[in-house]
Amino acid sequence: MSNRMWGGRFAEGPDAIMEEINASIDYDRKLYRQDIEGSKAHVRMLAAREIVAVEDAEKIAHGLDTIRSEIEAGEFTFSRALEDIHMNVESRLAELIGPAAGRLHTARSRNDQVATDFRIWVRDTLDTLDAQFADLIGALAERAEQHAGDVMPGFTHLQSAQPVTFGHHLMAYVEMFARDRSRMRDARKRMNECPLGSAALAGTSFPIDREMTAAALGFDRPTANSLDAVSDRDFIIEALGAASIASMHLSRMAEEIVIWCSAQFGFVTLSDKFSTGSSIMPQKKNPDAAELVRAKTGRIYGSLTALLVMMKGLPLAYSKDMQEDKEQAFDGLPSLSLALAAMTGMVRDLTPNTKAMKAAAGSGYSTATDLADWLVRVLGMPFREAHHVTGRAVAVAVERGVVLHKLPLAELQAIEPRITQDIYTVLSVDKSVRSRTSYGGTSPVNVRKQARRWLKALEREAARD
């Protein structure tokens, strides 16, 4: 029996194993909206160019609307024998309207069809992610403004370094996620070219209007090279690359939430909404939402790596290997979306323990740099000498078992006689953070200013939309 898709070239149908490895309908059915949208734009163009009769184009468009309704109502039967979403839709269209359905595929191939469908899906997904990034950035900026003056330890090497504010710490993630959002927007801009009309690889001899279909589908322009158009997948690779960087940032923040929730730190608590318990230890309250955000990073990295490896040895133009692209996209980008939603929820949910943070901020002699800066600023001491003097002061404080601002003046003057009572104006953690007024520094004034700047920018953006 001849395969009805391949016509007379094949005398027999595929082996069961061939059908199994060849079919993509189990996952590419997710493209049904994009496939129908692209087909309707294509047939409208064919009618406008008088390549198909208007009557046939209207039948096809009506049939496609019917198919979409059937799929969304759960009444459509997907067939693995028909391989993919394109042939499933076309086969059902033939059942609905008869021979006119066969005119839909004029001047196109499944190669440019799937490239178009997939670009629309990725573009739509990036738009959803863009809104989620804005939501997360807004949540972080709101919490940062609330806690602009609440002191916590700043770390390097996970060792107490200098006091910062909780608001300043949160604003660091605002900057990271804003860059992630920018990368996603750049990727969207680059990919917004329409492959439809490139046909199998060489274009078509029919007098089509690619500008018309590109505009109808919301693209900026048609792709300029038919070979590249059907064999390019760097649009999803770039999107997953940006997603991987974003997931790395999410994972870093998730890791900090896990640490902060521990009894040893006790900096924040998450409500029951974002925590789970233990099946054996009744006292446990685990930050599982943060842990799962951290874990999603590996899946997203995996999607990117799989696509890079899949594409690396493919000659132009289309190869069947490229069928493997969609599963990675359908897993990687939704994983990022879920992680963003979870992180935004946690940011709004968490309760900071400002008392514990402030107590920890004063540990580890975190105002030592403030002492060194005072020696430079007030006594005119070279910084390297000031660093040495401060190190001796810390050693004395360690020996006495006190924090720096509790070290008696006489002890400090024994190290450097020119030190005065004024030194105590910089040695407390509150005074330390208030002194960091350089642009981008941790002073509460700076943090409030930056948080408000971001919130106003998001408000203006929302008003434009």
H or E element, residue 144: helix 110-146
**Residue 180, token pair as written in the block:** 């992630």
Which is the catalytic residue, given 271, 278, 319, 363?
Answer: 278
Angle at the Cα of 130 (from 128 to 134), degrees rounded to 5?
A: 120
State how far the Cα of 62 lies from the Cα of 30, in Å rounded to an integer: 21
As beta bridge partners, residue 352 has 268
What is each CA distance from 23 to 1, 56, 84, 324, in whole angstroms? 19, 30, 6, 11
State how far the Cα of 104 lies from the Cα of 233, in Å rounded to an integer: 25
Answer yes or no: 157 catalytic.
Answer: yes
State how far the Cα of 80 lies from the Cα of 266, in Å rounded to an integer: 54
The b/e string for 217-246 (b: 16+ C-beta within 10 A; e otherwise) is bebeebbeebebbbbbbebbbbbbbbbbbb
CB-hemisphere CA count at 13 Å for 444?
12
CB-hemisphere CA count at 13 Å for 33?
7
State how far the Cα of 386 lies from the Cα of 416, in Å rounded to an integer: 10
- For 282: left if phi > 0, alpha if psi spans -120 to 50, otherwise beta; the answer is alpha
State how far the Cα of 203 lies from the Cα of 197, in Å rounded to an integer: 6
Decide if 198 contacts 115 (C-beta within 8 A): yes
Pairing relation of β-strands 351-352 and 268-269? antiparallel
**Residue 450, token pair as written in the block:** 């930056």
Residue for token pair 């590249």? 228
Residue for token pair 């030194």? 423
Give, rounded to a whole angstrom, the gap between the first and last alpha carbons of the chain. 56
As beta bridge partners, residue 151 has 165
Among residues 174, 186, 250, 180, which one has the least CA distance to residue 455? 174
Cα four-point dihedral sign 209, 213, 215, 219: negative
Answer yes or no: 231 catalytic.
Answer: no
**Residue 11, token pair as written in the block:** 């005398």
Catalytically active residues are 157, 278
